[in-house]
Amino acid sequence: MQKNKIFLLTFVFVFTNWINAAVYDYFPRKLEATSSNYGITGILNMPNARLMTEGSMKIGFSSSFPHEYTYISATPFQWLEASYKYTELKNLLYGPSSYSGNQSLKDKGFDLKIRLLRESYYLPDISIGWNDLAGTGKFSAEYITATKNIRDVDFTLGLGWGSLGKDKNINNPFKEFDQDFKNRETEFGEGGSFNYKSWFSGDKIALYSGLEYYWWKYGIILKLEYDTSNPDITYGGQPALDVDSRFNFGLIRPINENFTIGLSFERGNEFRFSFDIKSDYGQKPLVKKNDPPKNVIKLNKQQQKTLKGNNEIFYRSLNRGLREENILIQSADLSDSELKITIAQNRFRNYPRAIGRTARIASALTGEEVNKFIITPMNGDSEVYSVEFRKKDFDLVEQNRIGVKELYQKTKIYSSEPERYKENEFQPSVKFPEVFFDMSPSLRHQIGGPESFYLGQLWWKINTKIKFNRGLSLHSTLGLSIYDTFDEFANPSFSKIPKVRSDIQEYLSEGKNNIARLKLDYIWSPYKDIFVRVDVGYLEEMFGGVGGEIYYRPFESNFSSSIQIHKVKQRNFDQRFGFRDYEVNTGHVSLYYDFPRGIQSQLLLGKYLAGDVGATIDLSRRFNNGFTLGVFATKTDLSSKEFGEGSFDKGFYFSIPTDSFFTNFRQGDISFGLHPLTKDGGAILNHLNSLYSIYGDTNLKSVNRDWRSIND
């Protein structure tokens, strides 16, 4: 009887869970793990073991007294979450009032969390994390935490070190392995270096816990935690705070799929308000695409007969058809059995999609005697590769009779010989010079300075490109100031090395109306897989000069490399036509490698703008739709002292494909990059048209990645 009861209870429990699994799809709001107060996924002040969905990015804000956080978090991999945050410490001044007025102290920090074990039926999510990694140490902490969901409740248990372990309720278990873990460094410096010797150290640490109840019915998450950060104990130069309770609680309400607000009560005496905007850009666009191929009607036999032997009409028809898709013929050649087309376009990020749309139109216009298509896309006036398939196979894909994978197997894809397109019969006439022009409002700013947290300029940016011939173009960017707050700058650079970047305040305040760029470049491909650029002029806002780049991209390899050298001179602060005295020869050997799963790496070795010599490592994750998240770090022969605060140059960037926000396809990205500090060490030229940016994503791997779009 007892056995039956246990069986029945087990059955009911399991079965109820199964029923509930379906119910979750019908609740009014999707509930998922949310941010801690400071960005990384967590309960409130304490982190849990959860991470955002892979490819997600979130911008958020939470405010209370004395800590106010503004953060950006991202999940480049399903096992890694990173967050960059500004913390305003409202109870501390930035510096003496003569230096920074009444501005409160701002602390920059970088948090990282790695999932060690993914939650399963019996086992919890387990993660390890670092708060304020390479920061000033005011909030430095490490943790190992486990979170398990049991019937709509996420239970979290964790071990906290550093600022999360001030409760000191248990001994540090790592002492058993090495006595070095017993002592934790309590000196707090300028930040910027990885103080790894302090990680997971301290005689005593804290065991913390918390729970989050997913109240699906009402679309709310209730949170409760035992806070072991004990702000009533001074830490990192911060004054002690009144603590009436070690329990914090709060509630989170997703307003919609992207926007979440929260309210919590912490330390028993302060409220906190928070909100964040999140999207999983890597997995799906914000707006669903509705940009199908144009309908084409195949020519009937009579029409085909008329076209046959009259290539001129055929080319014009093809040209017109492709223009409907914003694809421009660069050349074409129709013989008895094959059609060669070279195309250029700036609508599709993904070349196979452009190739597919070209083939669709070509197929409709050609008769049965044409059985092979050779389509060559161009970028930057150079052929990037050629794709050769049977017309019949493409038609079968269109008719859903074979899959795109089968077409891929039957397709020859190879690197193009340069300027082969000139051998084709049809060469549309192009009238040079071509002028391209666009303008838009833009922002320039400095964030986190001592004078004010944000100083900025609304700037009218006018971009012009005059193309004199294939590959030869003059690029200009002019800026007109609309409104700015740059007059408040009061923090000149005292750098001991050539001030190649740290005079940023002078460049911004004196160059409000400026010629940000005025350069002539010539790009061509002298040999297969080799691309060359030479450029001269005002290359960027701070430097002008002359130089060039050679890029080698073996088509079938995931590896590519480049060499670039420039002789440059520093521009005047007003960014008109004059130069300052400083000049330097700068250049790098760059090695690029594409790892699986969209991981792209770059290693730059060479001489930087300040004359320092060293290396830059750049790692990024590119999702299939083009959303990219990346980090970089540069270490040169400058000592930490010479470099100054931050110890070495580092930063992160992301770019969101513009067409994520539109129903139709278009090229372009909305990019954002951040150096926490503008320093002179490890500085490189800000290039327009680096060859890697033009040709880096045109190797066989990229074709393979995007091939599914051939029929889209």
Partner 1 sequence: MTKSYSVNLIRTLIILFTLNSCSNLDVSSPSSSVFNLLLKNFSETGVVIGKETIESIPYASSLISFGGNAKSLIILESIMEDTNTWISSDKVRLIENNGRIIRTMGMPNDLYYIERPDLDFDFLLTKESLSYIAYYSFREPVLNNLKVEINSEVIGLETINILGKKRQLILIEESLYGPMINWSAKNKYWIDPITKYVWKSKQYLSPRLPHVQIEVTKKPAS
Q: Which residues are near partner 1 by CB under 8 A? A: 19, 22-23, 25-28, 216-219, 288-290, 292-293, 295, 712
Nearer to partner 1 by Cβ, of 157 and 220: the residue is 220
In angstroms, the CA 712 to CA 708 distance is 8
Number of H-type helices and E-type strands within the chain: 11, 32
Burial of 59 (0-12, 13-18, 19+ CB in 10 A): middle
Least separation, in Å, of the C-beta of 614 and partner 1?
A: 49
In angstroms, the CA 702 to CA 641 distance is 43
Under a CB-based contact definition with an 8 Å cutoff, are residues 517 and 538 in contact? yes
Nearer to partner 1 by Cβ, of 231 and 285: the residue is 285
Length of the chain: 712
In angstroms, the CA 314 to CA 343 distance is 16
Burial of 190 (0-12, 13-18, 19+ CB in 10 A): middle
Least separation, in Å, of the C-beta of 280 and partner 1?
A: 19
Nearer to partner 1 by Cβ, of 30 and 412: the residue is 30
In angstroms, the CA 677 to CA 493 distance is 12
Looking at this protein, which amino acid is placed at residue 659?
A: D
Nearer to partner 1 by Cβ, of 575 and 711: the residue is 711
Nearer to partner 1 by Cβ, of 28 and 309: the residue is 28
Nearer to partner 1 by Cβ, of 39 and 352: the residue is 352
Least separation, in Å, of the C-beta of 255 and partner 1?
A: 16
Least separation, in Å, of the C-beta of 294 and partner 1?
A: 10
Least separation, in Å, of the C-beta of 22 and partner 1?
A: 5
Least separation, in Å, of the C-beta of 303 and partner 1?
A: 21
Contacts of 119 (CB under 8 A, 6+ apart): 125, 147, 148, 149
Least separation, in Å, of the C-beta of 29 and partner 1?
A: 10
Least separation, in Å, of the C-beta of 484 and partner 1?
A: 39
Under a CB-based contact definition with an 8 Å cutoff, are residues 224 and 163 in contact? no
Least separation, in Å, of the C-beta of 13 and partner 1?
A: 18
Nearer to partner 1 by Cβ, of 238 and 358: the residue is 358
- The CA-based angle 70-653-600, given to 5 degrees, is 140
Question: Would you say the C-alpha torsion 692, 693, 699, 704 has a positive or negative sign?
Answer: positive
In angstroms, the CA 61 to CA 35 distance is 10
DSSP calls for 300-313 = -HHHHHHHTT-HHH
Least separation, in Å, of the C-beta of 289 and partner 1?
A: 7
Nearer to partner 1 by Cβ, of 20 and 97: the residue is 20
Nearer to partner 1 by Cβ, of 217 and 576: the residue is 217
Contacts of 235 (CB under 8 A, 6+ apart): 138, 163, 166
Nearer to partner 1 by Cβ, of 227 and 659: the residue is 659
Which helix (H) or strand (E) segment holds residue 73: the answer is strand 67-77
Structure tokens at 646: 């931050």
The dihedrals phi and psi of 415, each to the nearest 5 degrees, come to: -70, 145
Nearer to partner 1 by Cβ, of 218 and 436: the residue is 218
The three state secondary structure string of 556-615 is: CCCEEEEEEEEEEEEECCCCCCCEEEEEEEEEEEEEEEECHHHEEEEEEEEECCCCCEEE
Least separation, in Å, of the C-beta of 300 and partner 1?
A: 19
